[in-house]
Structure 1
Amino acid sequence: MKPIIPASLAAAAALAALASPLLAAEPITGRWVTQDRSAVVTIGDCGASLCGKISKFLETPPDGADQRDVNNPKKALRSRKLMGLPVLTGFKEEDDLWRGEIYDPKKGKTYRSVIRRKSASELEVKGCIGPFCQTQVWKRP
């Protein structure tokens, strides 16, 4: 008679090994159009984490393509150009999503953020203050 328990354990271990990659967050790197279609944000490596920078304006800002970060609460940062500005910072993979911070240059505010891939062409982006979150869906250009 063959031992059934070791074979069952081996099969369970093989299934667990195959299932583990399914729990990992899908990559969020690449170019994404914001929900309001005002800009393209390019997400990529920034050292030990991911960040996203404004790489193209689809809607010209009030002061033109040379628009500065005029709404920033820190006076020293108000002269930064919006083009190339990191709006997503410190994103790290956690199970099936990414956590970091999102900066809204229109309001000059930074929020906790969670990003999750909805599909190959859609990204769910949440900005949160305490338990309250606002969700947007960004799409591939």
Structure 2
Amino acid sequence: MQSSFHLSQLLKSFIMLGVAALATSAMANSPVGQWHTIDDKTGELKSMVVIVEQQGVIKGRVEKLLRKDADQNAKCDKCSDDRKNQAVLGLEIIRGAKKASGKNVWEDGEILDPENGKTYGLRLTPIENGAKLEVRGSIGPFGRTQTWVRVPGTN
């Protein structure tokens, strides 16, 4: 009887580990997590953005400004929507992206560049097993892709 109990407990433990591994793998291949943005000109860390998913919709905010010369009190004075004159720290820069059917891509949202106040169409694509995130901002056929790097030790 006792060996049956231990076997049952062992089986439950393996199942729980499998579920945890699947959940971790799913998180690693999604844009959800903490990301370092990289300055296009200098190649230095620019900021840390936290991306979350709520009811199937992705949103992201600036958690930290990391450039050594960054104004920690900067406002989005060039924004023209509800984010106008809001602090860049804590600012929601990603809105409304959803996972594309059958693909490992999130799209149909928007991304805001707080430096120029412009919003762009958005596509997020996790790459390298979720270690990096291709962030594509575009207006019509024109756009630019940045590669963000997952903050070490986070999912």
- TM-score bracket relative to the smaller structure: 0.7 to 0.9
Tell me how far apart the structure 2 counterparts of residues 128 and 136 of structure 1 sit (CA, whole Å). Answer: 11
Tell me how large the CA RMSD over aligned residues is: 2.0
Q: 2:123·2:136 contact (CA, 8 Å) conserved in 1?
A: yes
Q: What letter is aligned with 1:89?
A: R
* Structure 2, unpaired ranges of 5+: 1-28, 40-44
Q: How many residues align?
A: 115
Match of 1:14 in 2: none
Bigger Cα displacement from structure 2, 41-50 vs 30-39: 41-50
Q: 1:31·1:40 contact (CA, 8 Å) conserved in 2?
A: yes
Between the two proteins, what is the percent identity of the paired residues?
31
1:83 and 2:89 are equivalent in the alignment: yes
TM-score (norm 2): 0.67
1:35 and 2:38 are equivalent in the alignment: yes
The 4+ residue runs of structure 1 with deviation greater than 6 A are none
2:123 to 110, 114, 120: 114
1:72 to 71, 79, 89: 79
Match of 2:67 in 1: 59
TM-score (norm 1): 0.74
* Structure 1, unpaired ranges of 5+: 1-25
User: Which entry has the higher C-alpha Rg, 1 or 2?
Assistant: 1
SS of the residue aligned with 1:70? coil
1:134 and 2:144 are equivalent in the alignment: yes
